[in-house]
Each structure stands twice: as C-alpha cells, then as structure tokens.
Structure 1
Amino acid sequence: MANKAGVSPLEAHLGYWLRFVSNQVSHSFERKVAALEVSVAEWVVLRELFDGVPVVPSVLAARIGMTRGAVSKIMDRLEAKALLTRTENERDRRFQVVALSAKGRALVPRLAALADQNDREFFGHLRPAERQQLERMMRDVVRRHGLTAVPVD
C-alpha cells in the first residue's frame, strides 16, 4: 500500500475511514439536536440522567469520562435552559445532586428519536448481521484499549 517513497496514502488507514464516517455522522447529529437548542455534549448528559435517580456531579462526570469542570459547565447551560435541577444538601451546600427537570425528561425522547433517525440515515442500508458485526468490532476496539470517555464532540 505504500508508494515508492514508502509512505502510505491516507486512504490506506482504517483510522482515516473511521474518522471520515464519524465526522459525517457526528456533524449530522449535531445539526439535528441544535434545532432543539441542545449541543451533543448536553444530549449526552441529558441521556445519562434520563434512566437514573438524581446523581452527584462527580459520579456523572466519571460515568461519561469527562472532567468535573466540563460537566459543571454543561450542567450550568442545562440548568439555564430549565432542563436540569440541582438540589443542595441542607448541611453541606457544596454537596449537590442533579436530576432532569420535567422539561428535560420530556425532551430526551425527542432527542433519542433524532439519534435513531441519524443512525438509520447512515447505517440503515446495512443488513442486521452487518450492523451487529460492525458494532462488535467497534466495541472490541473500545474494550481492548480501555476507552471510557463518551464521545461528545
């Protein structure tokens, strides 16, 4: 695959193709959620909170592989949009838990539908077995490399 100088072309690298597809999939989803005035990072936090009980911000940050500072900024934006609530501990005001507001809980299914639509647009042509194989291979790469940060950008 290398040329005469021993330098392989971009297209010879699987990472090139993964990034090529990933960029398009991500950009398309970003445009979809932006129409509902939400960023992809905000979607990740909203979705993570959807199934659970109120959680401490540090636990949320660890779950999605982000720094506490980054999660705090996202939570500030979500709270300003009335999509998230924070409850402080009466004894220790530094301790707080976060949860979805009713508005946030109502928005998550709409955002999830956009994620499903985006997946169908890019991967709907794959047969179920092909899709499962692709997902298995990606999960294997994630597992082998111990990747934990949830993709948000």
Structure 2
Amino acid sequence: MKLDDTLGFILGRVSRKIHYRLDDIFKSRHMTIEQWVGLRMIDEEGPLCQKDLACRMEKSQNTIKALIDRLEAKELVTRTEDPKDRRNLILTLTGKGESLLNTLSPLEDEVNETIESILPPEETETLKQLLLQLEKKL
C-alpha cells in the first residue's frame, strides 16, 4: 500500500491542515494550540487539578507545568494549593483568561463549523464516531 493511501498518513495530513488554520487564529493572540486546549479544558471542567489536566491532555506533568507556567505568566490562569491535598495545584481561569476565551471561541467555532460543513451532517457524525472508536483502541 502506498503511504498516501494509509489511514495514518491521511489522518496526519488532515490534522495538520486543521492545526494550521487554528494556529493562525491563536498566533495573533500569542497563544499556542496547546495553551488554548489547556484554557478550554480548565474552563469546561475547572477548577481543575494540574495532574488531571495532564491526564486529559495526555501530556507529562512536567510538560503541563511548563504550559501552566506560560499561561500564568500571561495572567490567564491561577494556581492555588488544594486544601484537601497540598501536593495538588488547582487551576482556575482569571478574568483575563475568561475574556480571551470569549474573544477566541467564536473564531475557533467558525473553523470547526467550516470543517464540519464539508461533509453532510450524518457523515460528519459517523466520522466522529469512527475516530472515537479508533482513539479508544489505540
């Protein structure tokens, strides 16, 4: 089988194209996609323990610590000690972080809507379900 015909290669190409579109949006705000994902997860699931964020993002705790250091330096998140377990750091968004989410979320939504509009809705849903099945088994 030719490389161009393998599922992994096709998924990689599609992923890079989406990544480039989103990267253009976030670069203008001096953000990386990883930082954005971290902010979104803290917003959607927070307050969130730094260890839990590492698990959700499938990153090492050292990588997440560096990511949070950058977000904290930008005054987008705060870290506080968990009163129940002082080894845990709890992450919450600041007002500035919430404001940035409110500004950039509609732009991210536009990209996702454009991507999802390429296929008919039922095929988009089928594709999502198939990708989730792959994710679970890998």
| Bin of the TM-score, shorter chain as denominator length | 0.7 to 0.9
Q: Is the 8 A contact 2:75 2:97 kept in 1?
A: yes
Change (3 A) 1:109 1:16: same
1:72 corresponds to 2:65: yes
TM-score (norm 2): 0.87
Asked which structure has the greater RCO (Cα within 8 Å, sep 6+), the reply is 1
Per-residue CA shift, 1:46-96, capped at 9, x if unaligned? 001102342321122122211110111111110111101122368x87543
SS in 1 for 2:48: coil
Q: Structure 2: state its 5+ residue gaps.
A: none
Write 1 or 2 for the structure with the bigger share of strand: 2
In 2: Cα distance, 1:122 partner to 1:56 partner: 32
Q: Is the 8 A contact 2:50 2:88 kept in 1?
A: no
Q: Structure 1: state its 5+ residue gaps.
A: 1-7, 146-153
In 2: Cα distance, 1:107 partner to 1:56 partner: 21
Structure 2 matches for 1:1-153, cutoff 5 A? 8-88=1-81, 95-145=88-138
In 1: Cα distance, 2:88 partner to 2:131 partner: 37
For these two proteins, the number of residue pairs brought into alignment is 138
Cα RMSD after superposing both structures: 2.1
Larger Rg: 1
Q: Which residue of 2 aligns with 1:148?
A: none
In 2: Cα distance, 1:59 partner to 1:99 partner: 13
In 2: Cα distance, 1:124 partner to 1:16 partner: 23
TM-score (norm 1): 0.79
Identity among equivalent pairs (%): 28
